[in-house]
Each structure stands twice: as C-alpha cells, then as structure tokens.
Amino acid sequence: MKKTLMAVALGLALNGSAYAESTISLEVLGKHQTGVFDEGSAEIVAYDAATRRLFKVNAKAATVDVLDISNPASPTLVSTINVSTLGGVANSVAVNRGVVAVAIEAVNKQEPGVVAFYHASTLALIKSVTVGALPDMLAFTPNGRNVLVANEGQPNDDYTVDPEGSVSIIGLGRGVANATVRTADFKAFNGMEAELRAKGVRIFGPGATAAQDFEPEYIAFSGNSRYAWVSLQEANAFALIDVRQAKVLEIQPLGFKDHSRTRNRLDASDRDNRINIARWPVKGMYQPDAIASYHYRGDTFIVTANEGDSRDYDGYSEEARVKNLTLDPTAFPNAAELQKDENLGRLKTTLANGDTDGDGDVDEIYSYGARSFSIRNARGELIFDSGADFERITSRLLKGEFNSNHEENGSFDSRSDDKGPEPEGVVLGTLGNQVFAFIGLERIGGIMIYDVTDPYHATFVDYINHRDFSVDTKLTDGSVNPAVGDLGPEGLTFIPARRSPNKKPLLVVGNEVSGTTTVYQIKVKKLK
C-alpha cells in the first residue's frame, strides 16, 4: 500500500496537474477493523474529547460502537450502545459536551423514529424523544442548544406509503433530560409544486405533495446557530430553516451542471474499455449528500459533496439509460451515435426530467450527481465547483483502477455509466488560518483535499487512497480481506489538535464496505 501511495504523489508531479503547492497531507496512523464486508459496520463517526472516544454507527449490529482512541495509533473497541430496544438501526451519531445523540429509525421505516441521548462516559441513556420518519442524520447546533434531525421520510418499496419529510428541532435549553421537540415541515409548500418545478426543484414522486417528496438528507449551520441549510438530495435543492422559529423559510434550487463545457467533462460509458473524459450534451444534477458550512469575511458558505441519487423502488423508478430514451431529433440530430453503448447509451438518466415541451420525447438529458464538490453562498448560489477534477485526478494517479466500484478489485471503468467516483462525505478542518475540505469518494475510494479558505478560489491540495487494488476484497469465508485497506468511505470527522488525544490534528473515516474505521494524522507541511 505504501508503494501505491508513493506512486500517487509521483503521478501528480509527472502529470503537471493544476494544483496548489501541497500544504498538508494525510498519513494512516491507526485503524479498527470489524472484519465485516459490505454490511455498514462502520458508517458515521463522532468524537468526544473528554473521554477520547469515537462513536461509530454499526448498522449491521444495530449498535453504536465505542472506540477508545487514547492511543490513536491503536483504536480499541471498549463497548457498544445497543439501540434495538428503541427501534431499528442507528443512522447517525453526534457528540457535544459529553452527550451522545443517536438517530434511530423505526422497525417500519415509514413510522416515526427516535433520537436517544447518552452519557459519553457511562453510556447510560439520558432521554429518548420521538422524531419524524427515517431520521437519517442529526447534528448539534454550534452553540449546543439544539439538535436538528433530518427526517428523510422515504416511501416503502411499493410506493404505497410515502411519509412527509421534515426536520425535528430538539431543544436542550432546559437540559437533555427535559428535551423538547418541534418540527419544521414542508406543508406550506403543498400547492406550490408547479412554481417550484419551474425554478428547477425536482418534485416527481407519483402522487406526492411537496411535503412528501422532500427528503431531508444532511444539515449545516450558520455560525450563530440561527439558520440551518438542509440538503434535499433527490429534489436537487436546499431547504433554509430558521431554527428559532422551527420554520422552513425557503427552498433553494441548486441548478444543473453543463457537462458540454470543457471543465465539466465526464466519462459516461462503462463499455468502451478506456478512459474517455469528454464533453457530452448532459446536465448533471448536483444532488448533494453531505454538506458542511464555514465563514469567510462574515458570510456563510456551504460545501457540498455532489453524490447524486435516484428514486428506484418496486412501485416506481425514475431510472433509464440514455439508449432507451426517445431523443428529440431537433435537440439531438446525432441521437443514433450518442445512444451507442460506447458513447452515452449506458449513462443512467431520469424519466422525471427532460421533456421540456411535453411532446413525449426527451429534449434534455440529466445525469445523477455532479462528480464533484461545490461551494455555495447562503442563497444557494454556486460559487465554486471542482469541475472534472475528481475523474481527471484519479485517471492520472490510478489509471488502471479508474472509476472502480467499492466492492471488488479489477472493476476498472465499472462506475462511469452511473456516478463515477461518487463523492459522498465531506468535512471541514481549520489549520492555522486556512480551511480545508476533506471529501470522501465512495466508489474508487480515497480522500480528496482542497484548500477552501477563499471560497472563490478553492485549490486542490492532495489525494490519498488507502486501498490495495492488487488483492481480493474478500476472503473465502466472505469476510473482508484486511490487506485490501479501506473500501467505501462514508462518514468523516475532523479532530483539531487542541482536542486530539495526541495533540495532532486528525481525520477519522468510517468505511462502510470494508468495515474499517481509519485514523489519519494530518501532517502540516506549510501553512500560509
């Protein structure tokens, strides 16, 4: 693995990619392994400085596992929090001032879920409260007075039950034991579906109101804890929430990425046996999963990992491949050529968008996700996008593994028809006077690092992939091959030096496919 990482660094120098002089880098310091393959045994991670413990979601075991990282080079499992008595599995965990908050979905995912609070030291349950359907992510406000919960409200597989999405606001002002719950819902936007669609917001579930169709995914805050931005992934939008009023103020459409522009190129085929990052007449839906926020010159900026997601259920699916579309002959006079497998034919697109004139054929092709990370201002307006960087960089540094999937090696180019490297997680870390974004690539794996101090001029810093592509991902008994390294980075958390157990800045990554929790030490080379 060390040899592979050395080759990555050499590739940057030889290929002359446009990047900033490397100011920081990541070095694997320690790792905890479950041995469980592709069962979500290491997903979201959170850290408590007082106890020097990591809390990680283990979906397979319906627990939150507790790791002692007093010695971050040797993370040790010391206990577990069993959530099965409160519902189904845990989806998210957050820690603040010695309190651990856990989002737990109901056994029937369409029913209301639960948020449970525990002491970080004793792991004793303090309080549990009822929230909305399928609580997917939760976070403490910066001032610690509230916990916000993104209740995704996904439909059942038959699409016969579709609960409303919402954001629960759990007030902790009178102490965790006296927690109160308010709900910011989307009912006010029912009846406004046509107006919202005209602005670019995707509302398309069969028979769904806006409140049913909006599925909150991830949350970020203003520094004063007054406002929250919530990613509505399938809708390709943000919801702006007034925390004090528990009210959704507006829906901010995120627009679409023009992949016909040179800087926005993508590889669209898994059947051409080559790397072909090219311009195509396709619009990418940003559809962020994880988001994070920071401040620059007094303004709030939102950083997004533009993963992409489709609705694909037994009762309804929006998915189709370009070769199966009826393309408008005026918009696409070269349709036959475009629809070949080696061109756009294999690219996954949506049936919910594209027929702009209502005549039954497709006038615009849309793909899922933007294969990038972005920075937006408080109004949701795009300030920066990394363009084709992720595919361009990985194609140069891991040429033989380009757009691999996260379950098997020898899967070159297998994700080009879908969402490419699929950026999913993002976390920000401040070192000195600089702010860095760490973005996890779910499929090919690895962490992209960008200096985002100035949101208008973000620069690439480094890429590290702690994965050995030369070995099998599984052993003969079905467990993960420990030699493979990390597969499927999901949740990331940054630990500043002042809170770190070794007084060095750390990045912790939960990898859902390899079941590993990896502690990286951030090596500071030079800061401005």
Q: What is the pLDDT along the chain (528 residues), one digit of tens a residue?
A: 333 443 344 334 323 334 455 689 999 999 999 999 999 999 999 999 999 999 999 998 999 999 999 999 999 999 999 999 999 999 999 999 999 999 999 999 999 999 999 999 999 999 999 999 999 999 999 999 999 999 999 999 999 999 999 999 999 999 999 999 999 999 999 999 999 999 999 999 999 999 999 999 999 999 999 999 999 999 999 999 999 999 999 999 999 999 999 999 999 999 999 999 999 999 999 999 999 999 999 999 999 999 999 999 999 999 999 999 999 999 999 999 999 999 999 999 999 999 999 999 999 999 999 999 999 999 999 999 999 999 999 999 999 999 999 999 999 999 999 999 999 999 999 999 999 999 999 999 999 999 999 999 999 999 999 999 999 999 999 999 999 999 999 999 999 999 999 999 999 999 999 999 999 999 998 776
Cα dist. 412→78, 398, 495 in Å? 39, 10, 34
Instruction: List the strands of the sheet with 227-232, edge to edge.
Output: 216-221, 227-232, 237-242, 247-253
Distance CA 121, CA 144 (A): 18
Main-chain phi, psi angles of 6, to 5 degrees:
-65, -40
pLDDT at position 58 = 96
For residue 234 the two structure tokens come to: 């399938």
- With H, G, I as helix, E, B as strand and everything else as coil, classify residue 202: coil
Q: Which residue has the tokens 């998915």?
A: 319
CATH number of 2-309+369-524: 2.130.10.10
Distance CA 295, CA 299 (A): 5
- With H, G, I as helix, E, B as strand and everything else as coil, classify residue 182: strand
**Contact call for residues 361 and 236 (beta carbons, < 8 A):** no
Q: Number of helices and strands (H, E) in the chain?
A: 5, 33
Instruction: Report pTM.
Output: 0.96
Nearest to 35 by CA among 58, 4, 63: 58
Distance CA 204, CA 196 (A): 11
**Contact call for residues 289 and 310 (beta carbons, < 8 A):** no
Note the residue count of the chain: 528
- The H or E element containing residue 147 is strand 146-151
Cα angle for residues 384, 390, 395 (degrees, 5° grid): 150
Residue 27 burial (C-beta neighbours within 10 Å; 0-12, 13-18, 19+): exposed
**Contact call for residues 156 and 104 (beta carbons, < 8 A):** no
The alpha-helical segments, DSSP class H, found in 365-510 are: 389-397
